[in-house]
């Protein structure tokens, strides 16, 4: 094989990973898998996909080397192939919103540029305050994501259950809510709900994806 053919073959293999990232739904699946290992059924439900369509997207991600799969009884469970995949996904979002005006506008429209949810709490501040016990750390992601990995000491109340579970939160301690990451609105929605009841509440700056990538402690629920 000539050097030119060898170089072309190399770039063709690089392109396999890039091709897998070309689907919006596959990117959404990577976002979900950045929270932890999930079954196909769970991923399909969260991403609004049919089971067969989700399986096809996951197979494409697996073929590209971005995810791994294992059988658990009658279920297939998927996870990211490594933390480098999570970093790649996070960097792709940053590059898109930095250099594509349409991406920046779309993100701003989804997240809301004028949300009145107060100044976010930095990761190190939250870690310090959580260890001191002077704040309630609230995970508002779905329970399956909490179980796969969460901030140590966090209380799990999915956003859809928060209004009915307000009695589980003390009224005299500040609540810091967090969700999946910088491009997730669950924590902001939770903060607005809590504030409407008179509670002191802020959100964590960014979320669980960035917490993991920063190498901060993560706790896994044991069934």
DSSP string, 148-211: H-B-TT-EE--HHHHGGGGGGS-SSS-EEEE-S-TT--HHHHHHHHHHHTT--EEEBSS-HHHH
**What are the angstrom distances between the C-alpha of 151 and each of 15, 17, 158?**
35, 30, 15
Q: What is the phi/psi pair of residue 9, to 5°? A: -60, -40
Contact 106, 145 (CB under 8 A): no
> What's the CA angle centered on 181, arms 117 and 98, to 5 degrees?
90
Question: Among all residues, which ones are annotated catalytic?
Answer: 179
62: tokens are 């697996």
What is the number of alpha carbons within 13 Å of residue 88 lying toward its C-beta? 15
> What's the CA angle centered on 35, arms 118 and 209, to 5 degrees?
45
Give the DSSP H/E element, type plus range, for residue 126: helix 123-132
């Amino acid at each position: 094989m000539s050097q030119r053919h060898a170089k072309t073959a190399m770039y063709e293999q690089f392109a396999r990973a890039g091709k897998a990232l070309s689907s919006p739904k596959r990117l959404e699946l990577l976002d979900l898998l950045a929270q932890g290992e999930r079954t196909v059924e769970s991923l399909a439900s969260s991403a609004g996909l049919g089971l067969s369509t989700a399986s096809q997207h996951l197979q494409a991600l697996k073929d590209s080397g971005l995810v791994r799969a294992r059988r658990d009884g009658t279920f297939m469970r998927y996870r990211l192939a490594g933390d480098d995949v999570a970093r790649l996904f996070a960097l792709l979002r940053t590059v898109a919103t930095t250099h594509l005006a349409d991406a920046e506008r779309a993100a701003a429209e989804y997240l809301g540029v004028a949300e009145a949810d107060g100044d976010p709490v930095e990761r190190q501040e939250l870690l310090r305050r959580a260890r001191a016990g002077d704040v309630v750390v609230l995970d508002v992601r779905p329970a399956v994501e909490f179980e796969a990995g969460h901030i140590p000491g966090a209380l799990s109340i999915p956003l859809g259950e928060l209004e009915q579970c307000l009695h589980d939160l003390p009224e005299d301690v500040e609540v810091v809510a967090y969700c999946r990451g910088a491009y997730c609105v669950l924590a902001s929605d939770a903060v607005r709900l809590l504030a409407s009841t008179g509670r002191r509440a802020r959100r964590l700056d960014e979320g669980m994806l960035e917490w993991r990538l920063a190498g901060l402690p993560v706790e896994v629920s044991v069934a």
